[in-house]
């Protein structure tokens, strides 16, 4: 198999669903897997028992392989790490910290490990630590971000210059055009978050999906640049003051479940990427993946024809 990420994941298509906290659980992840992509179960919510139950439930909802994300700095202890090593899961992404201390037990369990990186330095250190691949997270993406914003367009090229490990491109990708661009820059797969949050099978409230559909390309803020974690979130009535201050109040996420699942868009800040400006319809996961793959092949086929005839 020429595509190394398909070989590593066992997925039919090189499309990965991002591990959004509370959202990326079995309902959404199994739909992605059943449509040929790679669903990822989140653990960043910190709900260890619930996330473990979701991992077990995946085996009842899909026969396809799936992955789990381990956000190193957000894990209370090593209970989730131990569970993953004993669960039979074969693909893990790590994030939010150095993967070094997790690599030995994960590799001993026969697990492929990709680490999410926002900079070239982080990529270099991760490769030196021994990861199998990287998730290259550009600043366009939603969720936790590097305050020194580097676009996916630049970051992919810069990281490909210093390493030949497989790269999953993340940030600003919602369709086959973005996928084709990422592959041209050295990626072998793409990760989509906001696109899947707005999917029919996503468990979030219709109000949150509608807010994504209504957002323009300028419809997000990068918040909390003066502290940690820095995040990209939808613009709402609540977010301009946070953006201006450069700091999030301590209770910013206290009612995040009321936003995600209750539909109160002012209860917290809703994480989303700039690709929200490219999304204007709620679609089933299978349709999203099928259309992305078809558009990807149409574009790469056209570019291949240009190359064959030395045309532009």
83-93 pLDDT tens trace = 999 999 999 99
Burial of 244 (0-12, 13-18, 19+ CB in 10 A): exposed
pLDDT at 291: 98
pLDDT level of residue 76 (50, 70, 90 thresholds): confident
pTM of the predicted model over 0.85: yes
pLDDT at 180 over 90: yes
- Determine the average pLDDT of the residues in 100-127: 96
pLDDT level of residue 182 (50, 70, 90 thresholds): very high
pLDDT level of residue 199 (50, 70, 90 thresholds): very high
**Per-residue model confidence as pLDDT tens digits over 154-176:** 999 999 999 999 999 999 999 99
Phi-psi label, residue 46: left if phi above 0, alpha if psi -120 to 50, beta otherwise: left
Residue given tokens 């993967």 in the structure block: 99
pLDDT level of residue 73 (50, 70, 90 thresholds): confident
pLDDT level of residue 14 (50, 70, 90 thresholds): very high
Cα–Cα distances (Å) from 224 to 147, 212, 230, in that order, read 8, 21, 5
**Per-residue model confidence as pLDDT tens digits over 25-35:** 999 999 999 99
3-state secondary structure string, 7-59?
HHHCCCCCEEECCCCCCCCHHHHHHHHHCCCECEECCCCCCHHHHHHHHHHHH
**Per-residue model confidence as pLDDT tens digits over 225-252:** 988 889 999 999 999 999 999 999 999 9
pLDDT at 173: 98
**Per-residue model confidence as pLDDT tens digits over 56-68:** 999 999 999 999 9
pLDDT at 1 over 70: no
């Amino acid at each position: 198999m020429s595509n190394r990420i398909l070989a590593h994941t066992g997925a039919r298509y090189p499309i990965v669903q991002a591990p959004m906290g509370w959202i990326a659980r079995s309902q959404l992840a199994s739909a992605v897997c059943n449509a040929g992509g790679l669903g990822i179960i989140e653990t960043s919510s910190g709900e260890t028992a619930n996330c473990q139950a979701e991992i077990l439930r995946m085996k009842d909802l899909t026969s396809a392989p799936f992955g789990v994300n381990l956000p190193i700095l957000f894990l209370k202890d090593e209970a989730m790490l131990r569970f993953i090593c004993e669960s039979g899961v074969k693909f893990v992404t790590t994030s939010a910290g150095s993967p070094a201390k997790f690599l030995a037990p994960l590799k001993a369990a026969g697990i492929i490990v990709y680490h999410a990186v926002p900079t070239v330095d982080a990529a270099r250190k991760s490769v030196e630590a021994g990861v199998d691949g990287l998730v290259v997270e550009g600043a366009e993406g939603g969720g936790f971000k590097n305050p020194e914003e580097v676009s996916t367009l630049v970051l992919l090229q810069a990281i490909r210059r210093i390493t030949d490990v497989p790269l999953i491109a993340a940030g600003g990708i919602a369709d086959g055009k973005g996928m084709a661009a990422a592959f041209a820059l050295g990626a072998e797969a793409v990760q989509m978050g906001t696109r899947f949050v707005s999917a029919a099978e996503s468990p979030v409230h219709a109000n949150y999906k509608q807010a994504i559909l209504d957002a323009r390309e300028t419809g997000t803020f990068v918040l909390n640049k003066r502290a940690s974690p820095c995040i990209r979130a939808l613009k709402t009535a609540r977010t301009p003051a946070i953006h201006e201050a450069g700091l999030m109040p301590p209770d910013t996420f206290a009612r995040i479940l009321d936003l995600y699942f209750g539909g109160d868009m002012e209860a917290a800040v809703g994480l989303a990427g700039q690709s929200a400006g490219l999304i204007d319809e709620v679609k089933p996961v299978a349709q999203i993946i099928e259309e992305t793959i078809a558009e990807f092949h149409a574009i790469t086929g056209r570019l291949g024809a240009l190359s064959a005839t030395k045309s532009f």
